[in-house]
Structure 1
Amino acid sequence: MNTFWWKGGRRENKEIHWKSWGNLCYPKKWGGLGFRCLRDFNLVVLSKQSWRLLNNPNSLATRILKTCYYPESSFFEAKLGTNPSFIWSSLVHTQEIIRKHCRWRVGSGTQIKIWKDDWLPDKTNPRVVSLPYLLMEDAKVADLIVTSENKWDEDTIRIIFS
């Protein structure tokens, strides 16, 4: 019998030699048993499903969840609600993970809020640092683009941002 896990040599004296869960989750080469942290694994799988909600807006699952929990907003703005299902309450926990690790591709800019979304290509500060311009708190990036010429409206940008 391995004395690392059990104390004593006789059957009647055997006791559990406790190790913390954190130590058991270390890779084997670092002295642990290589157990996986199930909470982290669960968050990874749920985050993948949340990513699918964002990227497949026409899927049946997305349409059902959107109708029930965030009919007038985006997934990132969705709240838990008063009587959420288990899956929805689990997916809401991944919002911050997804938000932290993704960026918008500007394109037409019709979905991106200038002051509320992470859309700038700066990893340390992906949001606009200027205070919202008067009466433009919910303005979209599309408002900063001259669509006929497919370029930034530089005059508006100089006026709005510091």
Structure 2
Amino acid sequence: MQAFDARFGLGWWTDPAVLVFQATVEQATAENAELVQSWIDLALRHRKEEIAEAGGLFIFHDWRSVRAYDTEARKAYLARMRARPRDYLRHSVTVISAASPLLRMAVETGNLVASMVAGRKVEIAHDPVAVMREHEIRPPAIGTRFPGTGRPSSRPPVAR
């Protein structure tokens, strides 16, 4: 495990320029959104060359545990996406429960923002294993650290 925060869940970095997030919360809040976005900012800042070489960051969200979200969570998440350079994202997949129509609507809103900001589409899926196979997402090598942290299991600071 590279990153864990009880306010959200897990995060890890792997090659080539892939961030994986797994939510463990049922209610997404602005605090959750800011935490995930701070982890993305750490990667963008500390792995800039690798991300550029890969053609942008691949972000894989496993949000199957999330059942609902606050309006402020959606606003915070989208605001941080809009603040980034156009070329930061190469692809994004969000896995949600098929029984979460409100969350699907939020992800689709994020899809519009991703299309406008990064020129990319956010893919919605229901099976994380299938997504990992399709996109060849592998666990990080032993000893790989989350970008911007000193130890593999340390909790990344909240970047602003």
TM-score range, shorter chain: under 0.3
Larger Rg: 1
Q: Highest relative contact order (Cα 8 Å, sep 6+), 1 or 2? A: 2
Q: Provide TM-score, normalisation by structure 1.
A: 0.22
Point out the structure with the larger strand share: 2
What TM-score, normalized to structure 2? 0.23
